[in-house]
Amino acid sequence: MALNRKIAYINLTTGEVKIKPIPLEVRKKFLGGRGLDAYLLYNNTKKGCDPLGPENALMISGGILTATCASATARTHVMAKSPLTGLLGSANMGGFFAPEMAWAGFHHLVITGKAEKPVYLFLHDGEIEIKDAANIWGKTTTDSQWAIQKELGDEEVKSCVIGPAGENLVAFASVMTGVKNAAGRTGMGAVMGSKNLKAVAARGTMDIKIAHPVEAFENNKKFIDQITSAKVNQTQGSLGTPFIWGATNSWGGLRTHNFQYNQLENADDIEPERIDEIATETIGPYHMAGCFGCQVHCRAQYRIPSGPYAGKYDEGPEYTSLGAFGAEIGCRSAETLLTGNHLVDQFGMDNLETGSLISWAMELYEKGIITDKQTDGLELTFGNDEAALEMVRRIAYRKGFVADALASGGIPATEKFGKESFDYLVQVKGMSNLHSDERATPALALNIATASRGSDHLRSRPAIDLYHLPEKVLRKIYGSPIPYDGPINSEQTSYEGKSWMVFWQENVYMGVDCLGICKYHTTFLGATLPNFEDWPKVIYYNTGLEFTPEELWTITERCNMLERLFNLREGLERNDPVKGDVLNHRYHDEPCRRGAPDVIGLYIDKDKFDTMVDELYQYKGLDKNGRPTKKTLKRLGLEDEPSHLV
C-alpha cells in the first residue's frame, strides 16, 4: 500500500534514525509531498533558525501517489528553510529517485543535525544506513551517483546528490538526480552541504499494493491519453520546455539584459528548433527521454557540438537555461547555452538563479558599480559568452570577490556591491525571477510577487492566461471545484479577475506537488489537462482514500497556508522590499520597449497591482497585512500549529 510508506527522522549529529508510520489522519490533512513537507518544516524548525546550521530540518519526499499506477509520479520534493531567502525553501525534481525511495519503503525523510564528516544515506527495503562519503565528496553530480552505485555494487541504486556547489555552500546549489533532474531553487543543495550530507541513495524491492488495480490501470490509460493528446504536450514531447521560447520571445515576454529589454532579437541559434537540430545531429532522431512513468518525454538529450567541452553528454536544456545562458546575459550561441547548462548540471547549481545573478552583475559592471579590479579583470559585459561561463565556474568554487559575493545570493551580495546595486536586482523575497518579463501580464506579475518561495513561476502562475481563452471556457476551468462568479477577463494585459486565477493555480500546483505528479499533467501550460475534478478517482483507485474535489481543494488551501505561516514566522511583511509580496521597482517605472505592438509601453500599475494583492489576500483569508485571520486558521484546522501529529 502507498499509505504504509514510512517517515524517517534522521539526526546526523547523533546518528539516530527513527522510523514511524504516517498516521491516516495526517494523510487526510496534508496528503504527502510538498504539503506534508510544509507541515513537517513548520513543526521541526524553530523561529529564526540558521538555514545552514544543524537546527535546520531538511525534508526529502515523494507524493502520496509516488510509484503507484498513475501517470508521471516521478517527482521528488525537497524542503528546508532557505539559505537564499531566509524564508521557505522548496524545490521539486523529476527523474527516478522518489519512486525508488517508495519501493525502499519511505515517503518522507526529515534530516536534522550535522555529520562530523561527509556521509551519505542509504535507504533499502525499510532500513536506513549512514555511510562514509569521503571517497565521493568533491565529485560532480553525475560522477557521485555512479560512484555510489559502484560502491554499493548495484546499478539499480538511485541517488539524489549535491555537487561542488552544494559542498561550497553556494546559496542556490541544487539537489540533483540523474544527469540533469534538479531540485534547483532556494538552495536546498547548500542545506545538504551544511549537514555534510553528500547524497541520499535508495534501492527498493518492496511492494506497493494498488487498492483497486484494475480500475487504476484503465483509469491511468485514460489519463495518459488525455495528457498526451494535448497540443502543448505534443509540442513539449518534441522540443522540450524550450518550446515556450517561440511565443514568449515573439510578443516580448522575455527578460533580457537583466531587465533592460523584453526581447532577444536575432537569437535564432538558441531557438528550440535549432537545439532540436543539434540533438538530432549529436544523438539521433529519437533524443527525447522521460521521467518515471511519463509519456510526455520532454527531456532532450544532447552532446555539446563544439568548443572546449565538445562531445560531453547532457540533458535539457530546459527553458530556464535558454534564459540563464541566453536571454538574460545577452548571448546568442548554442554552444554557450549547452555548455552553461552542462556546467550547472555538473556543479549542481540552479541554472535560473546563476544566469540571473550573472546578468545582474553584468549590468552592475556596465554601470560601473562593479569594477575591473573586483572582477579580477574579467570583462563582465552583456553578450560576453566566455565571461559568463567563467563566472559559472567561479561561483561554484567561490573564486574571486564578485563570484564569492554572488554565491551568497542576491541580497547578501548587495551588501558587498553597495546599496545602489539593490535597485537592479530583479528578485522577490531574495530569489531571482525566471527570465520572464511580467509587465504585460498582471496575472503573472501577481504570481511572482506572492509566490511562497520567492519570485517563481511554478507556484501560482496562470500560464493559460496567455492563450486568450473565451470567457466561457475560463469560467468553466476557474469555476470548479469552488464556484466563482466574480470578474474574469480573457485579455492577458487586464487586471480583472486575475487574482482569482492566481489563487486557483496556487491550489492546483499545491495539489500536484502533494500527489507527487508533474505539472505538465495539470492545468499549467495546457487548458485541457486534469485537475481537482479528475484527481479523486486516481487517488481512490490507487490508495483507497476517498476525497471529493472540494475536500482536495481545502487540503491544498491548508498546505499553502502552512507555507504562509512559515514565511510569516520568518519575517515576511507585505511591503518589505526584501521579504515582502512586492515587485522590483522596474516593473512599475520602466515601460516595455520591445515585442508585439500591444505590449509596447506597458508596465505594472502600482495601484491596480495593490488591489490585486488585496483581492488575493481576501481569497486566501488573510488580512490587509497578509496575515491569516483567526477564522481562516480555524476553518483550515491550523489554529494549534505546531501540532506534532507525526
Partner 1 sequence: MSKVLQINHEKCTGCRLCELVCAVRHDGISNPVRSRIRVIKWEMEGVYIPMACQQCKDAPCLHGCPVSAITQNYQTGCVEVNPDICIGCRTCVSVCPFGGMSFNSIDQKVIKCDLCDGDPQCVRFCEVQALEFVEAADVSITKKREAAQRLYTADKQAAALKTKAA
Partner 2 sequence: MAIKGGKQSTAESLRKTRTFGKIRCHNPSCMERIAPEPGSDHAKCPTCGMEYRLFWVNDNLPRIRGPVWDVNRELAERTFAEKQAAAAAKKTNKGGK
Alpha-carbon dihedral angle through residues 130, 135, 138, 140, given to the nearest 10 degrees? -90
- Give the Cα separation of 99 and 74 in Å (integer): 6
Q: With respect to partner 2, which residue has the nearer C-beta, 477 or 646? A: 477
Q: Does position 178 bind partner 1 by CB under 8 A?
A: yes
Tell me if 107 contacts partner 1 by CB under 8 A: no
Q: Does 608 bind partner 2 (CB under 8 A)?
A: no
Q: Among 37, 271, 276, 315, indicate the residue that binds partner 1 (CB under 8 A).
A: 315
Q: For partner 1, which is the closer residue by CB, 177 or 321? A: 177
Please, which residue, 185 or 203, has the CB nearer to partner 1? 203
Q: Does 179 interact with partner 1 (rule: CB under 8 A)? A: yes
Pairing of strands 181-183, 175-177: antiparallel
Residue 280 binds partner 2, judged by CB under 8 A: no
Single out the residue of 60, 162, 239, 275 in contact with partner 2 (rule: CB under 8 A).
239
Answer for which of 8, 69, 201, 402 binds partner 1 (CB under 8 A) is: 69
Binding mask 456-495 for partner 2 (x = CB under 8 A): ----------xxx----x--xx--x----------xxx--
Cα–Cα distances (Å) from 163 to 63, 240, 350, 406, in that order, read: 25, 25, 11, 18
Bond prior to 317 in cis (omega within 30° of 0): yes
Q: For residue 616, give the C-alpha cell.
A: 488575493
Q: DSSP class of residue 261?
A: B
Binder to partner 2 among 247, 281, 286, 611 (CB under 8 A)? 247
540 binds partner 2 (CB under 8 A): yes
Task: Report which DSSP code applies to 241.
Answer: G
Nearest approach, Cβ of residue 21 and partner 1 (Å): 19
Which of these segments, 295-303, 355-363, 426-434, 594-602, binds partner 2 (CB under 8 A)? 594-602
Residue with cell 534538479: 182
360 binds partner 1 (CB under 8 A): no
Nearer to partner 2 among residue 181 and residue 236 (C-beta): 236
Instruction: Reduce the secondary structure of 428-483 to three states and give it as a string.
Output: ECCEECCCECCCCCHHHHHHHHHCCCCCCCCCCCCHHHHHCCCHHHHHHHHCCCCC
Q: Give the x/- contact pattern for partner 2 in 151-190, rule: CB under 8 A.
A: ----------------------------------------
Does position 541 interact with partner 1 (CB under 8 A)? The reply is: no
Q: Which residues contact 466 (CB under 8 A, 6 or more apart)?
A: 247, 253, 441, 492
Q: Which does 427 bind (CB under 5 to 8 A by kind): partner 2, partner 1, none?
A: none
- List the interface residues with partner 2, window 39-68 (CB under 8 A): none
DSSP string, 551-580: HHHHHHHHHHHHHHHHHHHTT--TT-TTTS
Cα→Cα distances 536→32, 219, 228, 459, 545, Å: 15, 11, 20, 22, 9
Least Å distance between CB 441 and partner 2? Answer: 8
Q: Which set of grid coordinates corresponds to residue 634?
A: 480555524
Cα separation, 30 vs 464, whole angstroms? 27
Phi, psi angles (nearest 5°) of residue 122: -125, 115
Minimum distance between the CB of residue 541 and partner 2, rounded to whole angstroms?
Answer: 8
Residues 74 to 113: which contact partner 2 by CB under 8 A? none
Closest separation between CB of residue 287 and partner 2, Å? 15
Residue ranges that bind partner 1, judged by CB under 8 A = 67-69, 96, 103, 142, 146, 178-179, 205-210, 213-214, 216-217, 220-221, 224, 228, 283-284, 286-295, 297, 301, 313, 315
